[in-house]
Amino acid sequence: MREKGVVINERTAQIMRFAGLMMPILLTIYGVLIEIGIADRSHYQGDIVLWSMMIPWTILAFVQFVRPAMSWRASGLRFAVYHVLAALYIIVISGFATPFAATWVLLLLASYSYFSKIGLALSVVALLLTVLIDSLLHLDSGTTLLTNNVAAVSVLIVGLVAIAISRVQEVDGMELTRSKALETLQRDRILTIVNNLADAVLSTDQNGIVRVYNAASLNLLDTNTSLNGHFIGEILTLYDKDSKPINLFSELKKSRSVVVRDDITMTIADETLRIELTYSPIHSNYGQTKRAQIQDGFILIMRDITKAKSLEEERDEFISVVSHELRTPITIAEGTISNVQVMMERPDIAQNILKEGIATAHDQVIFLSKMVNDLSTLSRAERGVADAPEEIDVRNLINDLYNEYAPQAQAKNLHFDLDLSTHLGSIVASRLYLKELLQNFITNSVKYTKEGGITLHVSRKDDSITFEVKDTGIGISKSDQAKVFNKFYRSEDYRTRETGGTGLGLYVAAKLSRKLGTRIELRSRLNHGSSFSFTLPVAPKKR
């Protein structure tokens, strides 16, 4: 509660009310001792005076104990009555120089607690007036003045010392409360930050019991159950790179500083995750002896690196395969050119042999060029280059492709036909991705078709347009159909091996289709040709 500038807690107020209740009871008992002659009767003015004071005083104390005053004015009035009754008791019943004069210390403390310095000053004035009146009424007694002054000084000293101690404790209490509030605020801020981290964070005590965790921890562990109070070894079952279980708590106890490990796996809901685990002991400030730090627990940070590790391994594998695929044509071209250089120095070598060697080297360079082009396309798709969509007139795009590839088909005595719906309209997509995707299908059809022809179907149904490249080529076996979209995959069919290819074409096509937001449909039968198709939405009508 708060009274006129001073803050007192409910417990202190209860103690003061209890002391206020006990004071009239004790003074009544002392008054009875005076009445029967056991204590000094020099100030005693009679039984009627005693009981006319003590009965109202006891009632007031009981009322204050049961129903304390809620307003400042009511409290002030009751304190004034307390002081008047105490002064009258001293003057007409006991005198000031008695053991119970020390009860005025309670009035000093209560006045200061409820009314600050003003209340203390008024209580001191009341005390001095009481001593003065008591001394004036008993001037005939030589010792009264001296004993009253000594008693008054003693009461004042004890009261002021008690108030000073109370004030120091009050300041310390306020500082403690402020520190706790600041600590709570800082803790809430830290918890807010931790809960917004994408990484899982757990903090344990020195026994490995989880005390703090964030939402990401629940997401990683795929649970909604509270982790608080659980042993860290029960929550996390971890394995090293050799699939051996890790005693996590033992590892935590052995740590002396920050430890980072990325060779850890964990199984959640039948799924094996690869985890990057960072853990460190938590040290408190120096202990009382300031000789060593005390370990208060541990903090763990976990990150799911399954995807990152898979991408890293895929990249390493990709680089390894690309290096191998590039090395073969480079070696062939280099060896062939070296042989041609040697043969050119010999006049007896026929020109046709030299031409064959140069043609072989040229074919390998063309192969390298195709692979570099495929890798460049793949890189653009991975990096999102040319992702910007634009409105494309489908009929114009198909006509451009036909004009570009019809001569190649005719050179192999193949038919290249168009089958277009009447009203195609336009689509919104990346022109580069769409064109390269269709080019990939057309060049494959030309390459793997020896007789018959290629047909480019484009049809519209409702709000979607389907693109299909169909040929009468060698076809793809069922076993190969599941693999043709893998990088560097080439069928073992000898007819496929007879043609030059990088094994990247359909892998790039699959990447481009995903960038366009569609999926390639493959229909094929060995020796009966193949069909590659995909569907894109029609461009919305402009308002």
pLDDT confidence tier of residue 159, bands split at 50, 70 and 90: confident
pLDDT value of position 500: 52
User: CA 432 to CA 411: how far, in whole Å?
Assistant: 26
Asked if residue 542 belongs to a domain, the reply is no
The torsion angle over the Cα atoms of residues 301, 306, 307 and 313, rounded to 10 degrees, is 120
In this prediction, residues 46-63 reach a mean pLDDT of 87
Is the residue at 440 inside a domain?
A: yes
Residues 241 and 334 in one domain: no
Calpha distance 195→214 (Å, rounded): 5
Rounded to the nearest integer, the mean pLDDT of the chain is: 81
197 burial via Cβ count (<10 Å: 0-12, 13-18, 19+): middle
- Domain holding 367, by residue range, is 310-383
What's the sign of the alpha-carbon dihedral 112, 115, 117, 118?
A: negative
Instruction: Please name the residue that has the structure tokens 């980072």.
Output: 260
Query: Which sign does the torsion angle of CA 132, 138, 141, 147 carry?
Result: negative
Say which residue, 383 or 1, is predicted with more confidence.
383
Number of domains in the chain: 4
Q: What percent of the chain lies above the pLDDT cut of 90? A: 17
Mean pLDDT, residues 461-470 taken together: 92
- Rg, Å, the chain Cα set: 49
- Does the pLDDT at position 5 exceed 50? no
Confidence of residue 318 (pLDDT cuts 50, 70, 90): low
- pTM > 0.75: yes or no: no
CATH of the domain at 211: 3.30.450.20
Do 24 and 141 have their domain in common? Answer: yes
Q: Mark whether 298 and 338 lie in a shared domain.
A: no
| Domain co-membership, 532 together with 499 | yes
The answer to the question of residue 183 being in a domain is no
Whether residues 234 and 100 share a domain: the answer is no
Residues 99 and 123 reside in one and the same domain: yes
Residue 249 lies in a domain: yes
For the stretch 58-97, pLDDT in tens is: 888 888 888 887 777 888 888 888 888 888 888 888 877 7
pLDDT above 70: residue 406: yes
Residues 124 and 157 in one domain: yes
List, as one string, the DSSP characters of 126-187: HHHHHHHHHHHHTTTSHHHHHHHHHHHHHHHHHHHHHHHHHHHHHHHHHHHHHHHHHHHHHH
Q: Looking at the domain assignment, is residue 354 inside a domain? A: yes
Task: Annotate 43-92 with DSSP letters as a single string.
Answer: T---HHHHHHHHHHHHHHHHHHHHS---SHHHHHHHHHHHHHHHHHHIII
Q: Does one domain contain both 10 and 109?
A: yes
Q: Higher pLDDT residue, 281 or 140?
A: 281
511 CA to centre of own chain: 33
Tokens of 314: 């895929």
Same domain assignment for residues 130 and 33: yes
